[in-house]
């Protein structure tokens, strides 16, 4: 029987919204302050050199407009760079370089859009203005940031802030990992609530130190129940043949995955230290794109989805009338699909089939499917039936480009034939995908498995450039009307 009595929970509830608000408010205020200082600097130092006499400082409409717009611009830069992504695991050194990089990019943009047409005496004033704006903004931004980060880091080291952590493993390696983490001079934030076993050979050595929460097959439920944020894999060398199974169990969960390195990992240079005093661990990242690209992709999704819905409004009126007149039933078709991290959501489409098309159970459509209405066939050729998918994009459930979302009924069948399908759940599903561009629509589970390899290749090559290529090919399909 699982010993879950006495499970330890983090005594401090970490409020990420409050922590995020500290950084956002600080950045907004310091951006406004730095722009104000730069405005005064130009009036007091730059412009008098041109006109030969002091210039009066007027706090006009342009000044106050800048105090509103410029800070918002800076917050957008920080968001796109990924600065606000993980507010409790910041390094002061990496924060220094990130602040320098963000400041440099932002100042260059402001210089060429707002400062280049300034009244100056000589070109040296441009260099002085650039350095002044960079210095004002960097110093005012970095100082409160490093204060907030330092205070947070100290709370983590003191054990006042922690992340509920689950150990996967039950014997010598797991005990060693647990004691190493527990006996560190400074806490690294791991608040270990219990462990799960991989081998079913009880008793487990780790039971003397931690509650046994279940086995590896129960891991998803355990992560949800105990609000696990980090998982540390600490299995015996004899259990390494099960590592793929363990990763597949965790891949569609939004947790940070770390592993105890073997001597082979150390010798081949896979171990990277993030803390001098911390336990050496290999971090298994969910991140398939750099943070800035992922945020740009999200912003691009929202922009294009909004634009597409506005432009297609007249077309949608035509499609609504066409669906309504072509056959009995509702205009829109909706049902449950599986999204990122295995979270279900409701997808929306224009109905392209007759009513009760799946009265005999879930069934994939085919090229000559008699269930498709004549008007539905017209829509499908140009993929017009998928226009309502843009609402799913605006809701944050889908992306423009990503593996097509499937129903759980078919996912269960695909996983039996190819367990690697779970890797697709690491990203948002898309309106279009590499698999759909390269392979087309699948008419049965075997074809879905064949198409899977293209979507897995997409995961290994994710970038904005690849997304743009897929969108261009998809647009070509729409214009040529070569869909089903």
In this structure, the answer to whether residues 307 and 350 fall within a common structural domain is: yes
pLDDT digits (tens, 9 = 90+) for 364-420: 887 778 899 999 989 988 889 999 999 999 999 999 999 999 999 999 999 989 888
Q: Which residue, 112, 139, 157, sits at the end of a domain?
A: 157
* pLDDT of 267: 41
Pairwise CA distance, residues 15 & 19, whole Å? 7
In this structure, the answer to whether residues 356 and 303 fall within a common structural domain is: yes
Is a pLDDT exceeding 60 seen at residue 356? yes
Look over the chain and give the mean of its residue pLDDT values, rounded to a whole number: 84
Q: How confident is the model at residue 299 (pLDDT cuts 50, 70, 90)?
A: very high
In this structure, the answer to whether residues 306 and 433 fall within a common structural domain is: yes
Which of 16, 180, 23 has the alpha carbon at shortest distance from 95?
Answer: 23
Using CA atoms, how far residue 129 sits from 57, 105, 109, 204, 381, in Å, is: 17, 15, 13, 66, 56
Question: Would you say residue 1 lies in a domain?
Answer: no
Pairwise CA distance, residues 426 & 343, whole Å? 11
Average of per-residue pLDDT across 205-216: 90
In this structure, the answer to whether residues 436 and 467 fall within a common structural domain is: yes
* pLDDT of 338: 94
Indicate which CATH number applies to the domain containing 233.
3.40.50.720
Cα Rg of the chain, angstroms: 28
Is a pLDDT exceeding 70 seen at residue 276? no
Backbone angles phi, psi at 41, to 5 degrees: -60, -45
More confident residue, 481 or 446: 446
Neighbours of 119 (CB within 10 A): 12
Q: Which residue, 157, 191, 224, sits at the end of a domain?
A: 157
Q: Residue 204's Cα: distance from chain center in Å?
A: 37
In this structure, the answer to whether residues 233 and 299 fall within a common structural domain is: no
Pairwise CA distance, residues 250 & 419, whole Å? 13
Handedness of CA 49, 54, 60, 66 (dihedral sign): positive
Question: Would you say residue 10 lies in a domain?
Answer: no
Least confident segment among 28-37, 257-266, 309-318, 323-332: 257-266
Q: How confident is the model at residue 25 (pLDDT cuts 50, 70, 90)?
A: very high
Pairwise CA distance, residues 77 & 350, whole Å? 37
Exposure of 396 by Cβ count < 10 A (0-12 exposed, 13-18 middle, 19+ buried)? middle
In the three-class reduction of DSSP (H, G, I as helix; E, B as strand; rest coil), residue 180 is classed as helix
Domain that holds residue 341: 291-480
In this structure, the answer to whether residues 152 and 261 fall within a common structural domain is: no
In the three-class reduction of DSSP (H, G, I as helix; E, B as strand; rest coil), residue 430 is classed as strand
Q: Supply 296's token pair.
A: 């740009």
Q: What percent of the chain has pLDDT over 90?
A: 40
In this structure, the answer to whether residues 308 and 369 fall within a common structural domain is: yes
Please state the domain count of the chain.
Answer: 3
Query: With contact defined as beta carbons under 8 Å apart, do 336 and 344 qualify?
Result: yes
Question: Would you say residue 104 lies in a domain?
Answer: yes
In this structure, the answer to whether residues 89 and 195 fall within a common structural domain is: no
In this structure, the answer to whether residues 77 and 142 fall within a common structural domain is: yes
* pLDDT of 405: 93
Is a pLDDT exceeding 90 seen at residue 44? no
What order of strands is seen across the sheet that includes strand 230-233?
212-215, 190-197, 163-168, 230-233, 256-259, 282-284
Q: How confident is the model at residue 88 (pLDDT cuts 50, 70, 90)?
A: confident
Q: Which residues have C-beta within 8 Å of that of residue 215, sequence separation ≥ 6?
A: 196, 197, 198, 200
In the three-class reduction of DSSP (H, G, I as helix; E, B as strand; rest coil), residue 151 is classed as helix
* pLDDT of 344: 93
Question: Would you say residue 129 lies in a domain?
Answer: yes
In this structure, the answer to whether residues 271 and 310 fall within a common structural domain is: no
In this structure, the answer to whether residues 152 and 237 fall within a common structural domain is: no
* pLDDT of 263: 43
Q: How confident is the model at residue 22 (pLDDT cuts 50, 70, 90)?
A: very high
Q: Which residue, 127, 157, 187, sits at the end of a domain?
A: 157
Backbone angles phi, psi at 348, to 5 degrees: -120, 135
Pairwise CA distance, residues 3 & 208, whole Å? 11
Question: DSSP label at 42?
Answer: I
């Amino acid at each position: 029987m699982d010993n879950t009595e006495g499970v330890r929970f983090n005594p401090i509830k970490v409020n990420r919204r409050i922590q995020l608000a500290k950084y956002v408010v600080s950045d907004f205020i310091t951006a406004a302050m730095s722009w104000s200082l730069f405005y005064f600097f130009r009036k007091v130092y730059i412009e008098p050199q041109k006109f030969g006499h002091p210039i009066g400082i007027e706090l006009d409409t342009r000044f106050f407009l800048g105090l509103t717009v410029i800070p918002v611009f800076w917050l957008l830069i920080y968001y796109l760079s990924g600065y606000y992504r993980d507010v409790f695991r910041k390094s002061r050194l990496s924060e220094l370089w990130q602040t320098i990089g963000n400041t440099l990019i932002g100042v260059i943009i402001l210089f060429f859009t707002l400062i280049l047409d300034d009244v100056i005496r000589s070109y040296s004033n441009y260099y002085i203005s650039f350095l002044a704006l960079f210095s004002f903004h960097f110093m005012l931004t970095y100082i409160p940031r490093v204060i907030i980060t330092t205070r947070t880091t100290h709370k983590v080291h003191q054990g006042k802030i922690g992340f509920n952590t689950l150990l996967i493993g039950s014997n010598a390696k797991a005990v060693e990992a647990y004691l190493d983490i527990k006996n560190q001079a400074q806490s690294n934030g791991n608040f270990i609530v219990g462990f799960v076993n991989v081998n079913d050979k009880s008793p487990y050595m780790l039971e003397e130190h931690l509650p046994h929460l279940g086995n590896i097959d129960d891991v998803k439920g355990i992560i949800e129940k105990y609000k696990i944020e980090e998982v540390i894999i600490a299995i015996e060398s004899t259990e390494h043949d099960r590592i793929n199974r363990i990763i597949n169990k965790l891949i569609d969960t939004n947790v940070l995955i770390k592993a105890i390195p073997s001597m082979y990992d150390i010798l081949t240079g896979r171990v990277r230290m993030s803390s001098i005093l911390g336990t050496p661990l290999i971090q298994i990242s969910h991140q398939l794109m750099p943070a800035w690209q992922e945020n740009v992709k999200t912003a691009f999704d929202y922009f294009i989805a909004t634009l597409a819905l506005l432009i297609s409004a007249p077309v949608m009126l035509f499609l609504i009338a066409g669906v309504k007149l072509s056959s009995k039933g509702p205009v829109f078709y909706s049902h449950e699909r599986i999204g990122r991290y295995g979270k279900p959501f409701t997808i929306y489409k224009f109905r392209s089939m007759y009513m009760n098309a799946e009265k005999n159970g879930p069934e994939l459509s085919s090229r000559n499917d008699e269930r498709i209405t004549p008007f539905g066939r017209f829509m499908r050729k140009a993929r017009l039936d998928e226009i309502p998918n843009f609402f799913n994009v605006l809701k944050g459930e889908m992306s423009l480009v990503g593996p097509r979302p499937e129903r759980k009924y078919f996912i269960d069948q695909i996983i039996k034939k190819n367990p690697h399908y779970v890797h697709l759940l690491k990203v948002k599903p898309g309106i279009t995908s590499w698999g759909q561009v390269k392979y087309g629509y699948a008419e049965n589970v075997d074809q879905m498995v064949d198409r899977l390899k293209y979507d897995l290749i997409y995961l290994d090559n994710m970038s904005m450039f690849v997304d743009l290529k897929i969108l261009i090919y998809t647009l070509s399909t729409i214009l040529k009307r070569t869909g089903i």
